[in-house]
Each structure stands twice: as structure tokens, then as C-alpha cells.
Structure 1
Amino acid sequence: MNARLAQTQALRRQCTLTLPGFRSLNPAEEFEALARWCAQRGGAEADVYGEGGLAAEFEQRIATLLGKPAAVFMPSGVMAQLISLRLHAERARLDRFGMPPNAHLALHEREAPQALFGLHGVPVGSRIQPLRVEDLAAVKEPLAALLVELPMREAGGLLPTWDELQALKARAAEMRLPLHLDGARLWQCRAYYDGRTFAEIAAGFESVYVSVYKDIGGISGALLAGGEDFIAQARVWLRRMGGNLYQQTAMVASAMMRFDERLAMMDACHRRALELAEVFAALPGVRVNPRRPQANMFHLHVDAPAEALNAARDAIAEEERAWLFGAARPMEVQGFSVIELSVGDNLLALDDATVARLFGRLLARARA
């Protein structure tokens, strides 16, 4: 860990008020909570290399929730997505897959598909809007699969409308193009789709990846869901990649003990995101993207340099013990920055006036 990152993390730990995301426990508190939860349910059986125990129970729960025949727990989303794309490529006998140009796989995974499997990711669609039927018409080469991200994190949590999503699924089926769902934040989508079930949202996707540390708050981990044969083959690749750890019980249990409670909070978090969008839109030099949040997250486009915003964030953390956001990033337009905010129970419990005051101070400091 570099010195700057260590300093930032230490500063965040000393804050008594945190705005983004959900409350988290320190390791001692987490392990105590896990022990209580396991005891309250009458004990918990451990898995062995991912087989049996809590892992099997949770895999079945997620498969049913997503409307898929089977699911497998994996230690990371990177592994889940790579294995899924590898299987699609094997079945199609093609080394190309499609994805939005700003998909997580394209920006944050150090060219993992190419480096590990020789897979070429073809950019499909736009960086600033969800994939649509028209984007499929522009694809001029055969693809083994198409990755669809719901919601689009790098575009502020944008989602296609329900009709647009169904049209995309139908056209992909006509083209016999398998769809893979990057659902790292899928749990945030239900409110925008008028309460439709996760199974309805995931219908039409051959494979679905979901995270259980994002929003859910597990220690780590992800699940890949799909057909019985697909998941059986995924387990083979999981073994090859060293992902079927001897025991995954702690990771699984930490997700299971929060799962229902966190899912039940998602609609309230979305409503709070809508309210907060109005608060931020009233601040000078700030634009909210999307103007009406579609998920529990949104971006702030700020007329101030990223370095100044981050320095102001640290100063407020020192003075008020309040942590406002993770990190501001520079935008393509010089002097402008983007801040990502994810709404969890921290912001559910915080009033508008406090949010407006803290960010007003941030902007004043950054522009000074």
C-alpha cells in the first residue's frame, strides 16, 4: 500500500460520520456478528472446496432468486465474469465477445480476458447510454456473447427502460447471441423496473453475475448463475483458476446474514437517491448524472479540479470527522471532476440540511 492510500484510509477510519454506502463493521465486530448469527440459526455447516454446507444453501437461494437452474459461489466477480466469458467462447468457438466501452471488465481488470484467455473484447454501444437494439445492428463481426451491465456504473447508474431491455433480449435471441449480465449492482435495479422480480430482470440472460459484497456487505464474493451444464463447467474452471478455496464459509455467512435485510432496504435507498439528487442539483457548479437517479447511485459532475476536491474532502474529514466520498476523478473537460455517490443506510439516516452544508463547505474549499 502506498503512503497516500494508507493516509487516506486512516483518515476515513477516524471519521464518525460517513455518507456513502452502508455501515460496516471492523474485523472483531464482524466475526462476533458471524458467530452470533451461526449460533442463532442452530449452527452452520462448513463447505469443503465449495461443496455442501452454507455455500450450497446460498447458491440455491441465489439461483432461485435469479430464475436460473443453478449457481456457484466464487471469491471474486472478476473470476466469475472471466469464467462465464470463457465458457461462452468455448461454446461458440470464437475468441471475441462484446461489451460496452466503459464496462468494468474494460476499465478495471487489467486486460484480464486477453491476458488469461486470449479473448478480445469488442466495444459495443455508447459510454453514455445503455445498450440498445440499434447497437446490435452496428456489430459487424460474430460474437461469442454480449456483456450487458445493469446498472452502468461509469454512466452514473444508468439503466435501459423495461421495453428497451426486453427488445434487446429479443433481438439477441433472434441473432442467437448469448447475453451475459454483469449484475454487480443488480440488487439496485428493481425499484426502477417497478418492482419486477430479479428473475424477470435476469430472464433472457444465459449467465448472470452478482456481487455479494457490493450493497449486500459480505466480506467478499460473487455468484455466477445459469443452466445446470453451464454451472457444472464453471466449477471446472473455478478449480483450474484456484478459486474453489478449501472453505468459503466465512464469506458466504457474512453475505447470508445481511442478505434479506439489505434487499429490503433497496427501495428506500432509491427513494433517498431521488431526494438527494434535488439537494445536489441546487448546489452551484454541480450537475447530477442522471438528473433523476435510476439506481441507488449517481454521479456528481463538479466544476472544480479533482485534486482540489480530494484535498477539501480530507480537510473536512480532519475538522468535522465526516467522510464525504471515496475519490473525485478528473473528467475529459479540464477543470471538471466526477464524484460517485452510492446511497445506503448511511444517507438514509442523514438529513438534507447536513448533506447540503457539508458539500457546500467542500465546494467552497475546493474553489478557494
Structure 2
Amino acid sequence: MIQGMSDTEEPESEDERRKRLRQRRMSAHRSAERVLARPGFLGTLRERLALLERAPELYNLDQPSDMYGDGVVEALEERTAGLLGKEAAAFFPTGTMAQQVALRCWAGRTGDPAVALHALAHPEVHERHALSQVSGLRPVRVTGEPRPPTAAEVRGLDEPFGTLMLELPLRDAGFLLPSWEELTEVVEAAREREAVVHFDGARLWESTVHFGRTLAEIADLADSVYVSFYKSLDGYGGAALAGPRELVEEARAWRHRYGGTAFQQFPTALSALAGLERELPRLPSYVRHARVVAAALREGFAEAGLPWARVHPAEPHTHEFQLWLPYDADVLARAAIRTAEETGTMLFPDGWDARGPGIALTEVSVRAAGLEWTADDVREAVAGFTARLTEEMKGANGAN
């Protein structure tokens, strides 16, 4: 019998234990006085509703409410198309639906259901094979390496494809972006193969600093672009597909078939307009400060004498990046939570993902709250975290 348990109690399952740890982590994040980012989706309902307090500055609230995609939804679509330099845009409730529709439309135009994409792209990792199971498309993996695909790989793919999908940035590889030259070469390689190019730009908004180009210049390389309104802009949800007007009109028809033309969507549309107004101009400052934070993390862990710590990429391409440490994921999670509970500072609010025996990674995001942190603040927080990590390690070794 486990110590502390009565003989009538059921032992805690692994799923229950992880759920409990996650709830404790989220509670610690909400209560922490200092964090690098406070994404809106972790807020209370009251805090989320406050996002619309400035709605009168964003749209005429005396206009009729939207019905099946008109009104404020159309205003959001026009604003998005203008920012991306495309002829038109269509609002979708989810990015998964937007991209399936886009790729399905392109397959009809090219006559080829094959979609070339990275093995770590969102449809391959997070959508339960939706491209093939729902849309009748055939994913063709360009590469599985944890980096953006190269022009040589696109040219050398040993089967034809109608569409090349590029995720910018490639989240699961560390929010990586190619250089501008590499991106233009990859697009040209697809053109040489008479394929169209679609950008999975869920986080495209924060790519301008790395590329040194405007959103419209980046989007101009692709035939169509999907963007998210909540991942970086803090909206309630929603996405948009932007491209040629004829494609977008067809996408609206498929949106209806997929059940995505909701009756009223004004709260989500207004929150997206708020994100474009408030968060979009701030993103470059987040990206630049993420580089300060990343450098300070490396310095802090080196000063703490850890065997090794890897910030990936070394200079973040966006305001998000990965941190790898050579410890068990649960030990790292407990150390991060304890640091927040005992000091009021939460350096690592996201979960830790085990990537092998004794090695794990977490994602670090820098937003408005992180702009207040100096490099010294980061190094001090690392010292507090590593002290508790050492204690957790001793406890784990003692238990074994």
C-alpha cells in the first residue's frame, strides 16, 4: 500500500497525476507577480471580456450585428487582406478548417491532391490526419529534419505534387524561419515544378523582424496565406485565408459545407480587430526582447553550472523559442511551479515535453509583460529556478 493512503483509496493514475500537475502549474502562472508573457486565453472571463472595452474605437457599434459573415466579419476580412497585400480574405472559425479548404481548392485547380509539406507541419502533427481523412488530400513529406525545408529538397522530391505548404515559422522545430533568400529559393523551386505555394502563417505576424520585410512583401511570395487571430494577437479565436478573389470565393462555399459559416461571430471578429490594433504593432518589440531573454537564459544557466542548457534557436527568430535541459520533464515542471509559488516569479509557465531519457524541452514566449525584464532579472530568475531544480533532483534520487 502506498504510504499515506488508506486501503480503500485507489492509487492516482498517470493521467490524473499529470492533470493535477497541469492545474497546479496554471494556478501558479495566474498568481505569479512576474512572468515573461500573460497570454489572454489564460485569463478569467471578466478579463477576456475586457478585450472589447475599446470596441467602439474599432468598429461602429451602431451598425447591425453580423449574420453569416457580413458586417464586422467583412470588415475584418478586408483589413486582413489589406495587411497581407492579397485581393481578398475569408474568415474561418479555425485554422485547421481554413487550411483544409485552401489546400482542397488548390487541389481542384491543379488537378493534383498531393500536398508537399514538412513532417513537423501542423497538419501532420496536430490534426489527426485531417488532410487525408476529411479532405481527400495526400500529404507528401519534403523532409523530417528539424529545420525548414530547402530548395534542393523541393526540387529533388521523387513524386509530383500540386501544392507546397510552408509553415512560417515552423513551430515544432523551435519556431524556425528560413532566411529571406532561402525562402525565395524554396518558393522558386516549387514554381519550377508548376506547383502553387500556400503559407501556413498562423504566426506569420511576428516574422517581419527576421525577414526584414513587411507582411505584404512576405505574403506576396505565396499564392495563399492562412493567419491566426489568437496565437499572437490574443483574440478569442478565428483565422483567415487570404489570396486571389476567385479562390477566396470558392473557399467561402467550402466553408459553408464544412459548417464554418456561423450565424454570428461578432465577439471573435471584434477581438481580432482589437488584436490587429493593439498586439500587431507590439510584436516586433517582443521579438527583439526575446533575443535579450534568450541570451540571459544561456548566461544564467552557465553561471548556475548546469551540465548544459540549450536555447533553440540561439537567437530567436520570433518572440518564441525552445529551451532544452538534461532533466526529467516532471522534475523540471515541479521546479518551475515551486519557483513561482515561493518567489512570485514564473520563468517557465509552459509544460515540459520529454524528448528522451533525462531530457526535456519547454517553449518560452516573450510578450508585453516580458518587456519589463532586464537581462539581470532573467539571470536572477534562472538562479532561483536552478536552486529548486537541485532540490527536486535530490528528492527524486532519494525516492529512487
Quickly name the TM-score band, shorter chain normalised. Answer: over 0.9
Query: Structure 1 residue 40: deviation in Å?
Result: 7.3
SS at match of 1:308: helix
2:261 to 244, 253, 259: 244
TM-score (norm 1): 0.93
1:123 to 122, 132, 141: 141
- Report which stretch shifted further, 317-326 or 155-164: 317-326
Deviations 1:175-198 (A, max 9, x none): 21111101011011101112x111
User: 1: CA distance between counterparts of 2:320 and 2:330?
Assistant: 22
Deviations 1:74-132 (A, max 9, x none): 11111111111111222233332111111111111111112212322111134322122
Task: State the Cα RMSD in Å.
Answer: 2.0
SS at match of 1:117: coil
What residue in structure 1 maps to residue 94 of structure 2?
76
Q: Does 1:329 find its partner at 2:348? A: no
SS at match of 1:230: helix
Residues 58 and 105 of structure 1: CA distance in aligned 2, closer, same or farther (over 3 Å): same
SS at match of 1:131: coil
Residues 208 and 355 of structure 1: CA distance in aligned 2, closer, same or farther (over 3 Å): same
Contact 1:303–1:336 (8 Å) recurs in 2:
yes
User: 1: CA distance between counterparts of 2:262 and 2:314?
Assistant: 43
Query: Structure 1 residue 152: deviation in Å?
Result: 1.2
Residues 255 and 40 of structure 1: CA distance in aligned 2, closer, same or farther (over 3 Å): closer
What does 1:10-49 correspond to in 2, within 5 Å?
A: 10-20=27-37, 22=39, 25-38=43-56, 41-43=59-61, 45=63, 46-49=65-68
What residue in structure 1 maps to residue 240 of structure 2?
223
TM-score (norm 2): 0.86
Contact 1:74–1:244 (8 Å) recurs in 2:
yes
Code of the residue aligned with 2:173 in structure 1: it is: A
- Report which stretch shifted further, 322-331 or 176-185: 322-331
What residue in structure 2 maps to residue 295 of structure 1?
318
Residues 209 and 28 of structure 1: CA distance in aligned 2, closer, same or farther (over 3 Å): same
What number of residue pairs does the alignment pair up?
365
SS at match of 1:191: helix
- Report which stretch shifted further, 251-260 or 212-221: 251-260
SS at match of 1:301: strand
What residue in structure 1 maps to residue 384 of structure 2?
361
Query: Structure 1 residue 361: deviation in Å?
Result: 2.7
Code of the residue aligned with 2:354 in structure 1: it is: P
Query: Structure 1 residue 251: deviation in Å?
Result: 0.3
In structure 2, list runs of 5 or more residues that go unmatched.
Answer: 1-14, 394-400
1:235 to 252, 262, 270: 252
What does 1:1-368 correspond to in 2, within 5 Å?
A: 3-4=19-20, 5-20=22-37, 22=39, 25-38=43-56, 41-43=59-61, 45=63, 46-51=65-70, 53-194=71-212, 196-282=213-299, 283=301, 284=306, 285-323=308-346, 324-332=348-356, 334-367=357-390, 368=393
Query: Structure 1 residue 44: deviation in Å?
Result: 5.4
In structure 1, list runs of 5 or more residues that go unmatched.
Answer: none
User: 2: CA distance between counterparts of 1:354 and 1:146?
Assistant: 43
SS at match of 2:225: strand
Code of the residue aligned with 1:325 in structure 2: it is: P
User: 1: CA distance between counterparts of 2:143 and 2:100?
Assistant: 21
Query: Structure 1 residue 302: deviation in Å?
Result: 1.0
Contact 2:76–2:272 (8 Å) recurs in 1:
no
SS at match of 1:190: helix
Query: Structure 1 residue 235: deviation in Å?
Result: 0.7
User: 2: CA distance between counterparts of 1:309 and 1:19?
Assistant: 18
Contact 1:23–1:345 (8 Å) recurs in 2:
no
User: 2: CA distance between counterparts of 1:40 and 1:154?
Assistant: 34
- Report which stretch shifted further, 125-134 or 175-184: 125-134
Over alpha carbons, which structure has the higher Rg? 2
Contact 2:117–2:142 (8 Å) recurs in 1:
yes
Residues 33 and 123 of structure 1: CA distance in aligned 2, closer, same or farther (over 3 Å): closer
Identical pairs, percent: 32
